Amino acid sequence: MINKTKKQKASILVVTMMILGIVLVTALSISVVSIQERKASMGSNKSNQAYQVADTGIEKVMQLIKDNPFDNTIKNIDTDGTCDGIFNSTVGYTVQLKDTADENITTCAVSVSAIASIKSIGTNSGQQRAIEAAVAASGGYTKVCKLSTADSLNTDTMLVPSTWKIDNCKTQATNKSDYLGYYVGCLTYSGIDFGEVGIINGVTATAPSPNDCGW
């Protein structure tokens, strides 16, 4: 009888240890998954922030181009005198000016009209994202669709076909769950002009004024 009781106690102890082991392994697994998800989320946030920095660089340099006559030189834009790109160490972007051969423009005497595209590289907490945007030729206009989150912290600006209507930009925002607002605009060599913001389930975006690209 005593031996039987001892065996029962031993069996209970073994089962208890097994259950505790399973609980411990499960807890550790959940902890590891949670840590991995948190790291992935942090990495995604840093990447998104780097994208926003790059997007800021695009808009700032487009404004610089807009503020300078087409016959001005690169030196009027790249004010540090090096003409090897536009840097903003405070915000964290570097913008390269490119010609029609996709080569970096590094000569101060080159006219603004030689800029065919710009490439902005944004850096945030070790993460880098790059955005490129075409600069329309003198007198030309290109349609632009810009998507925005509710807090406007994340945006996505894209050049779109001339056949697009405002509803196409709205559809683009609708298809991406993170975005609630959208803008339509016109890009020329002198910059981007946007109309009023549209909300997916609310007001419709308005075309810029003047509506040179035909929204």
DSSP state letter for 180: -
- Evaluate if pTM is beyond 0.75: no
Picking from 136, 113, 147, the residue whose alpha carbon sits closest to that of residue 213 is: 136
What tokens appear for 206 in the block? 């308005």
How far is the C-alpha of 105 from the C-alpha of 99, rounded, in Å?
A: 6
Give the separation between CA 144 and CA 169, rounded to whole angstroms: 9
**What's the helix, strand, coil split of the chain in %, to 5?**
35, 25, 35
Asked if 208 and 141 count as a contact pair (C-beta separation under 8 A), the reply is no
In terms of Cα–Cα distance, which of 161, 166, 183, 177 is closest to 55? 183
Note the residue count of the chain: 215
* Phi and psi at residue 127, to the nearest 5°: -95, 145
Give me the average pLDDT of each 10-residue run along the chain (215 residues).
Answer: 58 75 76 63 73 85 72 77 80 86 86 82 88 64 83 77 89 86 82 88 92 86
pLDDT for res 138: 47
Question: Cβ(193)–Cβ(185) under 8 Å?
Answer: yes
CA–CA gap between residue 95 and residue 54 (Å, rounded): 8
Strands (E), 3-106: 86-88, 93-98
pLDDT reported for residue 184: 95
At residue 139, the pLDDT reads 45
Domains in the chain: boundaries: 54-135, 137-215
